[in-house]
A and B are shown apart, each in its own frame.
Chain A
Amino acid sequence: KAGVTQTPRYLIKTRGQQVTLSCSPISGHRSVSWYQQTPGQGLQFLFEYFSETQRNKGNFPGRFSGRQFSNSRSEMNVSTLELGDSALYLCASSLGLGGLDTEAFFGQGTRLTVV
């Protein structure tokens, strides 16, 4: 069974631009969560989507947004990019029903560099 797929793997953007990252979860998984990983802050939770609804949100500014489609694929968008947004953005999918279904599987990530 295919794992979590994130595209693109690498991205270079200029300050002020916006970017959209994509995540395809494992087939049958309905929950998609996004995380930002930086050397300075480690792994930080951005938001979680389940059945096209945002269920949970971390402490990031409104420039960070996301959405989920009916096929559970998810995108996250960062507008007005800042140098500090350079990071590895990770997507994790799970069944999302809670209990034993909480196990989350991660994709390889998208490495975003803002110059």
Chain B
Amino acid sequence: GESVGLHLPTLSVQEGDNSIINCAYSNSASDYFIWYKQESGKGPQFIIDIRSNMDKRQGQRVTVLLNKTVKHLSLQIAATQPGDSAVYFCAENTSTGGGNKLTFGTGTQLKVEL
């Protein structure tokens, strides 16, 4: 039968504006969270991470906020540029049996308009 693809939410922003991408995670035992950027034809690229004992972390033009109470993660990109256009995934890491496992969200397509 025909498979139905995941509906990727799309965020369209004007170049120079700030972007905010949101993500809800499911496992309260997750201890580490990562945002990845994936451009067409490429593997996910690490952007920024945050540990569960923090609620905010800043990088270059990016900030990640973690709200453990509501299990919510957000990625803020300042002064969005055309090169930021990609699919963004949040991932939660769960340590089980001595190993690590990343569970990814469905992703958000960011489109930067000139």
Chain A positions near chain B (C-beta within 8 angstroms): 4, 31, 33, 35, 38-45, 48, 50, 55-56, 58, 84, 90, 92, 94, 96, 98, 102-109
Q: Which 3 A-B pairs have the closest CB atoms?
A: A55-B99, A56-B99, A106-B43
> Which residues of the other chain, A, contact B96 by a CB distance below 8 angstroms?
56
> Which residues of the other chain, B, contact A55 by a CB distance below 8 angstroms?
97-100
B89 lies within 8 A of chain A by Cβ: yes
How many chain-B residues does the 8 Å CB contact rule pick out? Answer: 30
A102 touches B93 (CB 8 A): yes
Cβ distance A72 to chain B, nearest Cβ, rounded Å? 15
**From A94, A98, A105, A108, contact of B95 by CB (8 A):** A98
Cβ distance B103 to chain A, nearest Cβ, rounded Å? 7
Chain B positions near chain A (C-beta within 8 angstroms): 3-6, 32, 34, 36, 41-46, 49, 89, 91, 93, 95-107
B44 touches A90 (CB 8 A): yes
Chain B residue at minimal CB-CB distance from A44: B104
Query: Complex: how many Å from CA A42 to CA B97?
Result: 24
Cβ distance A91 to chain B, nearest Cβ, rounded Å? 8
A102 touches B43 (CB 8 A): no
**From A43, A84, A105, A107, contact of B89 by CB (8 A):** A43
Query: Complex: how many Å from CA A102 to CA B34?
Result: 10
What are 18 A-B interface contacts by the 8 Å CB criterion? A4-B43, A40-B3, A40-B5, A40-B6, A42-B104, A42-B107, A43-B91, A44-B104, A45-B103, A48-B101, A90-B44, A94-B100, A96-B100, A98-B100, A102-B100, A104-B34, A108-B42, A109-B43
Q: Decide: A56 near B100, CB < 8 A? Known: A104-B46, A108-B42.
A: yes
B5 touches A103 (CB 8 A): no
> Which residues of the other chain, B, contact A106 by a CB distance below 8 angstroms?
36, 43-46
**From A41, A45, A103, contact of B34 by CB (8 A):** A103
B6 touches A39 (CB 8 A): yes
Cβ distance B100 to chain A, nearest Cβ, rounded Å? 6
